[in-house]
Every structure is written in structure tokens, then in C-alpha cells.
Structure 1
């Protein structure tokens, strides 16, 4: 039986976003410990139904909350996705193929995140190695969508998104190697911005990849939380190759030329509800004075084939090196059907790899050329509405699952291969009462324009709130 789940109540967190909670702590209205205690109570209330937390670290969070903290989000409770290292907590990558160990040190991005003063409550769930677009497991209960627990919360940052959407936490860590910030943001009605490649620090699992497709960030309920996170992260580390963003605090007066796409490079159709959501978003942007025009497809089927091959390369690399990089007891026979199937598909075509890597790297220039004609690109985040749990289960045969993934995740990978920034905004609702995300993409380093337009849409139209349903 499906359930609508949220944790909003009259406690220290109230209905505030992360910036609001930080301000209440800063002024002494509440303490960091009170905020953390409220978050722990909320997580304990919803997690039996959502299954979003894989490692709870509540006692250490309580101790950390009473320490003197600094940073723009000082004292705000959060959680880190379980493919990033937090000192003293096991890193499991969502896999049953090895026994996770606890690292001695935080990962590079985790240090950048925690430097903003947030208090970590533990680790959030993800599907095995982040490969799936739903946080489901072959032989364990799935993570559920708080809007309707019969449905997927997306992935791979599905655990983080479920906790933020339910109101258990104001914001949470997420990362994106094929859409894994934007997909769960779309499924759970959140703001999800994938930064430009190099904007935030990388974790070890992605730093050495031949094409650096993963970007680190957060999922939030408000645009200002995402903006403050980016500004805070930039104070810790600012890429010398990218223009500074600074703190974006509202819309711009600049009117933009926006290219619109509704069909993907895979050839699979976009469903009617999603097409309607994009058309409605275009109408909203037009009503605000922006110029929205249909644009030609920037890449072809070759790109989709190349990205799928690269997906397989990553799975094959984990399978081949897991005993050395993860744990001595790593057993690839215990990986799920998706990981094994991706690795096998790669091995059958591994001679294609040099050309694939070369073309994916070259796609950065193709992407950059788009923004000679447009300020932004408007598209679906996903090709169809959020599926029910089971549709993307890794327990099903690989060929069926992979076909379903290609039909679902058809728009987000371009920004990972090219390194361009993109944001998913919850601009519509499906007939089933679940959010539909709409994606806006910008030129390299232009997160400012994405945040400005997101503020404008949020102020003009707002988002659906789970506590009002």
C-alpha cells in the first residue's frame, strides 16, 4: 500500500530551509544541538518507511553539534552519500560485493562540504556504485519516494533526496555522474544543480577517470540553499579555470534566449506528461519576458552509444580492481545484474574505448558552441515520469533493465560528458501526484545564470510542497 510520508512538524527545524535554520542558530533562537536533535527525531520517524539511511552516526552528530562551528551553514544537520569517505564511517557504495571499511580521513569534497559548518548525521543510500537511476537493490528493500512510497526516489542520490523531500533534513550531499543529482531532484520535487566540471573538489573514485563525468553538490528544497552551498564551497576552493560565482541572491533583470528540446538523442519518445511540463515551463519563461525557441539536437546517436560504453568501462574497472581499491573480500560475482551486465557489455566491445574516450572529450567543444546562440537550454530532466519501484530493479535481466534505463535517462548524461552545468527544477506534477523535473543547462562556468533564472521561476510560481498535499 502506498504512503505519503513527511516529517515536517513544529520543532526546531520547522519548515525552514538550510539558510533559515542557519540564521536561527546564528541569532541564538535555537542551538545547533536542538536542530540536530530535531533532525534525528525526523529521520527516525520517516526512515522505517523510506529506507534512506545506510549508516546512522547520531551520537557523533550530537557531540559535534555542541562544538564551536563556523561557516555559512554552521550547525545545519545534513547527511553524506555513501560513495564518499567520511572519517570513521564505512563507505559501502551501495554494494553487497564487499565488506565496507571505515577510512581514517574525510574525502576531498567531504572536507569542502563540512567546512561550511554542517553537522553530518551519517550516510545516505545509493544503488550499487551509483549506476542505476533508482535506489533499488537485488536482494534488499528499496529506498522509497516520500511523495508516494510505491514509487522510486530516483538515483543515485536517492537516499539523500528522500530525506530532504520528506523534510527530515534541510539539505543533503549528492553527486552526479549521469544525472544523479538531477534525477532524484526531479523524482522528489527538489532543486538539483550539477556544477560545472571542476567547480567542486572530486572524490577519489572519480578523480582518475579518463573522462571526469562526476560533479559533487547537494539536493535542496530552495534555490537559495543551493546558491549558499555553492558560494560556501567556493570560499573553501575556487577553481582557477572557472569564473567566480559569488553568492547569488535573486533573479537578474537580464532577459535570456532559451533553446528548447523535448526529444532526446536516443530516439525513444518523451512521454506526454513530460512534454507538457516542458511546454508549460517554456510558457512561464516566455511570460516573464524570455525568448524561448526550439533548437536542433546538438549531438546524435553516437553520443548516446559512447556514453553507454563509458558507463560499462566504469563497471568493468570496478569489477577488475575491486579487491585492490575497495576491499580484499570484494567478489564481483556478488555484484548486481546491472554492474555485471555493464561490465560484460564493455568487454565485448572494449576495442572501441580509445575512440569513445576521444569523442566524449571532444563533446565539450560541441557543447560550448551551443551557447554562442543561446543563453540557456530548456529540456526534460527525464524522458518519462517517475516509475514505480520494480521498474528499474536490478533483480531483472540486464537487457530489460538497460533498455528501460536508456528510455528514462535520456537527457542528463550530456552535461556529464561535456562538463556543463545544469539544474533540475520541480516545475510540474504528474497525474499520480509526483513531481516532474524540468532541466535548464548553461555554458561552462555559468552557474550564476542558472541560479538567477531558478530564483525567478521560484518567486513567480513556487514549487509544490509535500506538507501541503
Structure 2
């Protein structure tokens, strides 16, 4: 197999080729590590690696031998240093064991060959942590690869690997998927394990683990592999009626679809982004679905302030944990300016402050739940704009916690709602700007509606295919 053949396949195809003896896992690992090395010189998406050999993995799993990377945040592997994007852990801390999700990735047969970059503690929609330097978008290296899973998104888009770990506390799976031209599924709260260190209440219930992929079928099949409950999990949610992989190509029926293209923050949305979403709406109408303009109604400013409290509290907790591990106190010399502002704000929050934030989240979730009583799915942009210029979301800006949160979600106003509600949402690469930048379209549904979202996503993938598109920085061109 050559690099052209390798990069043209999704993870499902590569796994089938390994199983059929058409290529070996060792050959794939070599192609992946060579590819990562080549593209990383242009996009700077690797935190650690590539490794000399992949981490141990099952040889009989669904994705046996398929190259993979994990993000340098939350999910970690035994013996592999993790830095969480912070200079506080510049040399890395070495975990003594896998997280539960890492166990599932290994059991699925995924061959982990590197660790990808993230912003400091994941609190940015851009990946330019000082500890690594700027991660660049392979479609335009003057642009952001998104965040907080920007390293994973850039590596998959550049053809170095077919699938990569990602996580999402406000859009961090869907935003990199959108700006890098990938599929980004954020599953329902409680669907994918966060243990043993965290559970589904992490980040006030906003934190979700999963992946970015090139195809809908990869997202569906991987979800089948990792959606597993562990003893002691706080919540166990309803399993699907059948494997998610079987939903790809299944008839979604005639759905009631709400279309919304105005920013809930009241900020501008690029006309090309709006046009892309409206084209998807027309495609869905042509497929027989009913589409009308509608939106859940909630107070954005109240929501934003509650979100700032939730993130600041989580950052303060995370930094306290790193201080305990390292014996080093956090401060302006070893954390980025906005991180430090959020940590200080978080340390000053009271139980009553957090109770008020929780009340806001409950009110918003009730409204969205009511909304999904009238509609099956909600169709929106994923991001207000195509990929932003590098430096736009500068984490060393002179902003307080609310100002930093506002800076992020003014530009990325469509994703955080579904972290608060815990409901699933998927970003699909269904549009392109005049400059050739990917435009992501978000499809969201009610709790535990992954099966329906996968059916609709696969229907759109067939009607508006994206697999032939390649960025300028790609393993076949560098």
C-alpha cells in the first residue's frame, strides 16, 4: 500500500483490508508515522510522538491495526506522558494506568501512534498553547485548526490518520471537525466513559469524550466500540435498539426539522456559512423531510455567565490537581493569562454561585427538551465563520473570565448549548467557502438520539459527498 491508497481510506476500509490480509498493521503504522512526521512540519499538531511502535492494542478488534492518536487531555495511556497543554506539565506527567476510554480504544484494535495538541486545559476554540506553539489548519496554515481538539482534527484532515480521539466541553469535537472538513459527533451525556478520574458530571456535565472521523460510518462503528458503562458510573443511559453501525444507510423516515442560522449570541454569522446551511436544508426537503425556521428560546447573557462560572470552577479544580501532582503553584509564569484569570475567578466562586449556574442550565435544558417535543432535529451552522486567523483567540489576552468566555462563544455560538443540555450533536463537512475552507453544518437532536442523527448524517453524506476533498497540506503532497 502506498500513501495515496492509505490516505484515501477511512478507518472501516483500512480495518477490512487488514482483516483480509491486503495490508499489515505494521505497514499501516509505518505509513501513519511517516505521514505524521511529514505533515507535522507544516501544521504542528503533535504533542508527543510519533512513537517507534504503536501502543499495545487488540489484534482482533473491529479496528484492528488502524492508526490512531489520542488528544493530550483527559483520555490518557499508561506510561505515556500527558501535558494537558500547560507549561505546568512541560515535561509531562506519566499516568500509571489507562483511562476507561483508552481501554476501549485498545480493545477496538486502534493502534495509537502519537498524542495530539490541545489548548491549555482545553479552554479555547483554538489550539495555540504556549507549551507546543501554534497548531495550523492544513487547508490554510495561516488559519486556526480549531479547538480544543485542533491537533487531532488537523492530523485527520491532513491524511496522516483516519480517526482520532477528541473531547468536547463547549464544541471541542465539532469545531475542529467543522474547520478541518471532518465528521465530529458529540454523543449524549453519559454515553462514553470519562473514568476513572472523572465522570459525566465533569465540567458541570458538559464534558464529553469521543473522536473526529472522515466518514459517518467510522463515527457510528467507533461509538459501538466505546459506549460502555463501568462499575460506579454516575449515570447509565439507554442503549441503542441495535448497533449504530447498522443505522448508516437506514431510512430516517420523514423528520420534522427546525432550521436556525442566527447566532444565539447576537453576533455575526458569515453569509457563506448561512448559505451552506440553507443548501443543506433544501437537500433535506428534497429528501422528503419537513423543514421550517424555529429555535429554542433562552437568555444568552444569563447562559454565558453561567457557562463562565462552570468553566472557571473546572479550571480551578484542574489546576489544583496539577499543583498537587507537581508540587508547583500555578501563576502567571506557568499558565496562560486567560487561564490564570479564570482560575482566580473560579477560586472565588461560592456554592451559591454554582447553584445559580446550575439553575440556569436546568432552565435552558428544559426549554430545549420542550423544543424537541415539536421537532426531531435542529439544523444550524457549527461555527459562525470558516476557520479563523491564527491568534484571533489569543489565550494570553488581557481579559477576565467572563471576557474570555465571551470572546470564544461570540465566534462559536452554536455549539455550547448542547453541552449544557447533554444532548447529541454532529458536525458534517457539507460546505466550502469561496476560498476553499470547509464549512461545518451541525445537526442536533434530543437525548439519546444518536441513531437518528447517524441516519440523517449518512443520508447527507450520500447526497453531498465530501470524501474527495483534500487540503493543501496533505500526506500526498508534502
TM-score, normalising length: structure 2: 0.90
Aligned to 1:340: 340
Where does structure 2 lack aligned partners over 5 or more consecutive residues?
A: 473-478
Alignment of 1:435-450 (within 5 A): 435-450=438-453
Please report how far the alpha carbon of residue 31 of structure 1 lies from its aligned counterpart in structure 2 after TM superposition.
0.7
Matched, 1:201 2:193: yes
Once the two structures are overlaid, the 10-residue window that deviates more, 99-108 or 444-453, is 99-108
Where does structure 1 lack aligned partners over 5 or more consecutive residues?
A: 1-7
Aligned to 1:9: 3
SS in 1 for 2:379: strand
Aligned to 2:312: 312
Once the two structures are overlaid, the 10-residue window that deviates more, 278-287 or 247-256, is 247-256
Matched, 1:142 2:134: yes
Which digits, 9 at most, give the CA deviation of each residue in 1:74-129, with x for residues without a partner?
11010111112211111110001234211121011111222101111121100000
Say if 1:140 and 1:31 are closer, same or farther in 2 by CA, change over 3 A: closer
Please report how far the alpha carbon of residue 341 of structure 1 lies from its aligned counterpart in structure 2 after TM superposition.
2.1
Matched, 1:290 2:282: no
**CA–CA separation in structure 1 for the residues paired with 2:292 and 2:186:** 24
Matched, 1:95 2:96: no
SS in 2 for 1:436: strand
TM-score, normalising length: structure 1: 0.91
**CA–CA separation in structure 1 for the residues paired with 2:9 and 2:380:** 30
Aligned to 1:352: 353
Aligned to 2:475: none
Please report how far the alpha carbon of residue 139 of structure 1 lies from its aligned counterpart in structure 2 after TM superposition.
6.5
**CA–CA separation in structure 2 for the residues paired with 1:213 and 1:377:** 19
Matched, 1:55 2:48: yes
Aligned to 2:66: 76
Please report how far the alpha carbon of residue 70 of structure 1 lies from its aligned counterpart in structure 2 after TM superposition.
1.5
**CA–CA separation in structure 1 for the residues paired with 2:273 and 2:346:** 31
Say if 1:362 and 1:253 are closer, same or farther in 2 by CA, change over 3 A: closer
* Aligned partners of 2:138 and 2:158 also within 8 Å: yes
Aligned to 1:273: 272
**CA–CA separation in structure 2 for the residues paired with 1:79 and 1:211:** 27
Matched, 1:217 2:218: no
Matched, 1:158 2:161: no
Please report how far the alpha carbon of residue 280 of structure 1 lies from its aligned counterpart in structure 2 after TM superposition.
1.5
Say if 1:108 and 1:344 are closer, same or farther in 2 by CA, change over 3 A: same
* Aligned partners of 1:24 and 1:30 also within 8 Å: yes
SS in 1 for 2:108: coil
* 2:409 counterpart (398, 406, 415): 406
* Aligned partners of 2:425 and 2:442 also within 8 Å: yes
Please report how far the alpha carbon of residue 308 of structure 1 lies from its aligned counterpart in structure 2 after TM superposition.
2.1
Please report how far the alpha carbon of residue 284 of structure 1 lies from its aligned counterpart in structure 2 after TM superposition.
1.4
Say if 1:24 and 1:299 are closer, same or farther in 2 by CA, change over 3 A: same
Aligned to 1:373: 374
Alignment of 1:220-235 (within 5 A): 220-234=213-227
* Aligned partners of 2:313 and 2:349 also within 8 Å: no
SS in 2 for 1:149: strand
